[in-house]
Amino acid sequence: MVEHADDDATTEPILRVDDLEVRYQDVIVGLSGVSLEVARGSIVAILGANGAGKTTLLRAVTGLLPVHRAKITRGQIVLDGRRIDGQSSTAIVRAGIAQVMEGRRIFGELTVDENLRTGGFTVRDKAATAATHAKVMGWFPKIAERRGQRAGFFSGGEQQMVAIGRALMAQPRLLVLDEPSLGLAPMVVEQIRQIIVDINAEGTSVLLVEQNASMALSIAHRAVVLENGRVAREGSADELRNDEKIKDLYLGMGTAGRRSYRDAREHYKATNAAAAARAGAAQVGDA
């Protein structure tokens, strides 16, 4: 294990994924050569279509690959200067990564408080746990009112708040969220968006997987586009927001029908060429 001096630690990203390859059942490649960084205190969004490898990347980071009979076959994952690839999910939560899973996955038969308790399972410090619990209750007054009730009967938005609160109970340095806006009403999505901004403002770094690219890009500092298990594009959120191809593919502003970033690139090459050809033809006509 590498010890870092304090000045070094400030420049070291909180999470570094290096040339990662993941295989399912030793055969199917889920990720291939994926590298990315989450700078300390930042929000990084992962965009991509279904099957692009977003969830696989999160499973690799959070140690849940074995549940899906997958494993890391190349590369490394480093949290705060410490390698965590191949470690158990318990060790990874202890190291400082908590996650909000896709579909919320709260424990429906347990009460809100019990759900939060499972989230703080790895924290041994009782006083710290009580403080975090109070903070979560303050953030989510809606679920605080119903803390003794079974969480399974809550609305989608409230369940998402339970799920986020549960993850925060682990007192993470990096919070990983998988499609937190999925299946929620626009107003609730806006609430969730604001919550993520607030959590980040308190110093927690965020890795956000989203299909709702406009929401993700509106709060992220940087973004990575995954496609077929590879990084297809990477840049600051501003850059990606103004990228015609991204607009076309993920922001629903362009012509429909293209399924991949590469398709979009080809499409723009073709249309640009056609435009150039038209311009050329017009010049010829003028002459």
Residues that bind other proteins (CB under 8 A): 62-64, 67, 88-90, 92-94, 99, 101, 105-110, 114-115, 117-119, 121-122, 166, 170
Question: Do the beta carbons of residue 147 and residue 112 sit within 8 Å?
Answer: yes
Q: How far is the CB of 223 from other proteins (least distance, A)?
A: 24
Q: How far is the CB of 148 from other proteins (least distance, A)?
A: 13
Residue number, 98 or 213, with CB nearest to other proteins:
98
Q: How far is the CB of 117 from other proteins (least distance, A)?
A: 5
Residue number, 101 or 246, with CB nearest to other proteins:
101
List the one residue out of 116, 110, 100 whose CA is nearest residue 175: 100
Q: How far is the CB of 58 from other proteins (least distance, A)?
A: 10
Q: How far is the CB of 266 from other proteins (least distance, A)?
A: 38
List the one residue out of 223, 224, 167, 162 whose CA is nearest residue 199: 167
Question: Do the beta carbons of residue 20 and residue 77 sit within 8 Å?
Answer: yes
The residue assigned the tokens 């986020």 is 164
Quickly count: other Cβ atoms within 10 Å of residue 134's Cβ. Answer: 11
Question: Do the beta carbons of residue 111 and residue 75 sit within 8 Å?
Answer: no
3-state class (DSSP) for residue 162: helix
190 Cβ contact partners less than 8 Å away, ≥ 6 residues apart: none
Residue number, 118 or 242, with CB nearest to other proteins:
118
Residue number, 101 or 216, with CB nearest to other proteins:
101
Q: How far is the CB of 103 from other proteins (least distance, A)?
A: 9
Residue number, 115 or 205, with CB nearest to other proteins:
115
Q: Report the half-sphere exposure of 208 (CA within 13 A, side-chain side).
A: 33
Residue number, 101 or 249, with CB nearest to other proteins:
101
Cα(98)–Cα(103) distance, rounded to whole angstroms? 16
